[in-house]
């Protein structure tokens, strides 16, 4: 439990440091896209989501992304965020095969359509990183 006194800016910077380890690039892109309409929302994503929640030591980054993939697959309507977090999942150590296995597992709880749609998003991310076909000699991203 952090009891030191911090400024809003310091909390933002702490969030940015956490975010950088997960997916710094997409975080920057999000903040930039919100700058002219909802800068406070961009601030809170970094400062609170990453600086307060992701920063907690009780759950390693890989577990957080697995949990996140589960939630976004079930919500079903958050394709852009799923795309970001499939990338983040790769960044923190989930393999492409593990991600696909997670979506196959999702059939049991979300049904085929949402699982298939999640795989379709993964296919885009994996293709951009040169990871397809899985099991083959994937070229570097």
Contact set for a second copy, span 45-74 (CB under 8 A): 45, 48-49, 52-54, 56, 58-59, 63-64, 66-74
Compute the least distance from the CB of residue 125 to a second copy, in Å: 10
List of long-range contacts for 95-98, beta carbons under 8 Å, 24+ apart: 96/122, 96/126, 96/131, 96/134, 96/138, 97/134, 97/135
User: How many chain residues bind a second copy (CB under 8 A)?
Assistant: 76
Compute the least distance from the CB of residue 20 to a second copy, in Å: 17
Among 25, 32, 113, 141, binds a second copy (CB under 8 A): 113
Q: CB count, 10 Å around CB of 76?
A: 15
User: Closer to a second copy at the Cβ: 78 or 92?
Assistant: 78
Q: Please give the Cα distance from 75 to 128 (Å, whole number).
A: 24
User: Closer to a second copy at the Cβ: 111 or 141?
Assistant: 111
Compute the least distance from the CB of residue 122 to a second copy, in Å: 7
Q: Please give the Cα distance from 58 to 114 (Å, whole number).
A: 29
Compute the least distance from the CB of residue 95 to a second copy, in Å: 9
In the shown chain, the binding pattern of residues 8 to 47 toward a second copy, with x for contact by CB under 8 A and - for none, equals: xxx-------------------x--xxxxxx-xx--xx--
Decide if residue 129 touches a second copy (CB under 8 A).
no
61-75 and 8-34 helices cross at what angle (nearest 10)?
A: 40
Among 28, 92, 100, 129, binds a second copy (CB under 8 A): 100
Tokens 């919100």 found at: 34
The two tokens of residue 107 are 């059939």
Tokens 């970094």 found at: 46
Q: What is the DSSP letter of 1?
A: -
């Amino acid at each position: 439990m952090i009891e030191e006194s911090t400024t809003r800016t310091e909390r933002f910077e702490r969030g940015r440091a956490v975010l950088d380890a997960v997916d710094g690039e997409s975080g920057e892109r999000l903040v930039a896209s919100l700058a002219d309409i909802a800068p406070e929302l961009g601030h809170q994503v970094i400062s609170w989501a990453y600086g307060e929640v992701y920063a907690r030591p009780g759950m390693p980054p890989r577990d957080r992304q697995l949990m996140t993939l589960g939630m976004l697959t079930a919500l079903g309507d958050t394709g852009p965020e799923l795309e970001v977090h499939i990338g983040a999942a790769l960044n923190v150590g989930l393999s492409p095969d593990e991600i696909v296995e997670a979506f196959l597992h999702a059939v049991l709880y979300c049904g085929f359509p949402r699982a298939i749609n999640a795989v379709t998003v993964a296919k885009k991310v994996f293709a951009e990183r040169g990871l397809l076909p899985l099991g083959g000699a994937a070229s570097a991203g």
